[in-house]
């Protein structure tokens, strides 16, 4: 058996197909890894409440949520990196002047600062999570928020990047960007977990396909980009596997010698 390793999997486009289905081969691979004694964790831009069913199905209780801002190991929160609330309030006020709504997100729920907006509906429905944010423009008050969603068309986030230095803006949909604490990333969240476990860099693996996986794929020693990733994301990884629709998880794990 190989020395104990930890493997981090992105969700959308990595574990789940673009139709948000979990391939049976990927599910079986996760259980094989655990049977071999390895740690398996999720690393995603999603909120914890957006993939509870997936965690239950895969029996995974360690995860890096919100692109690294909320980290849980074996059901215990080990790291939190909330947004600057005063800066977020200013961002929301400015964005509304441009008809760009905001969704506030903590570890339990998400609330929009507008009653409804076509951009929110269109982008959130692509996640197929069965829920949409309800209206609460003051949800940011008195609580830790780990990520927000800013809804605007591609390129329009540039005006906010120039003004709001407390945040990073990472696009995940043509109509929406993640708003993260400056310097926050999956790579930083993963580091908090691997430091706790004391697992050597050579025994750390990560699979991803999206823009928000770039830091993770660059930082993790054994990084694997999915075949469905764009070329610049593939270039950031050590390995490139097949597409998520072509049993890419199994192929990648075999490629790196874990299966």
CB of 22 within 8 A of CB of 245? Answer: no
User: Residue 103 has which token pair?
Assistant: 């969704």
Angle subtended at Cα 167 by Cα 154 and Cα 89, rounded to the nearest 5 degrees = 95
Is 247 part of the annotated catalytic residue set? no
Q: In what order do the strands lie in the sheet with 176-181?
A: 134-135, 110-112, 102-105, 147-151, 176-181, 167-173
Phi/psi for 38 (5° steps) reads: -85, 155
Query: Could you tell me which of 233, 240, 232, 238 has the C-alpha nearest to residue 220?
Result: 238
Strands 222-225 and 239-240: parallel
- Residues acting as catalytic residues: 10
């Amino acid at each position: 058996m190989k020395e104990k390793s930890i493997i981090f999997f992105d969700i959308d486009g990595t574990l789940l197909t673009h139709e948000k289905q979990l391939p049976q081969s990927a599910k079986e691979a996760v259980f094989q890894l655990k049977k071999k004694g390895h740690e398996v964790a999720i690393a995603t831009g999603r909120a914890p409440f957006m993939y509870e069913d997936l965690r239950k199905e895969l029996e995974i209780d360690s995860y890096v949520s919100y692109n690294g801002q909320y980290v849980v190991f074996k059901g215990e929160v080990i790291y939190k990196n909330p947004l600057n609330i005063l800066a977020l309030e200013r961002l929301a006020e400015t964005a509304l002047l441009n008809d760009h709504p905001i969704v506030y997100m903590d570890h339990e729920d998400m609330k929009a600062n507008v009653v409804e907006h076509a951009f929110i509906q269109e982008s959130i429905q692509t996640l197929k999570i069965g829920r949409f944010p309800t209206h609460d423009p003051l949800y940011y008050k008195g609580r830790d928020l780990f990520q927000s969603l800013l809804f605007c068309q591609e390129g329009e986030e540039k005006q906010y990047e120039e003004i709001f230095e407390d945040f990073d803006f990472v696009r995940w949909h043509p109509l929406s960007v993640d708003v993260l604490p400056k310097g926050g990333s999956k790579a930083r969240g993963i580091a908090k977990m691997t430091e706790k476990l004391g697992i050597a860099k050579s025994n750390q693996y990560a699979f991803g396909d999206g823009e928000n996986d770039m830091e993770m794929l660059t930082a993790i020693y054994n990084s694997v980009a999915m075949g469905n990733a764009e070329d610049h994301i593939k270039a950031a990884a050590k390995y490139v596997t097949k597409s998520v629709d072509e049993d890419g998880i199994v192929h990648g794990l075999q490629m790196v010698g874990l299966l």
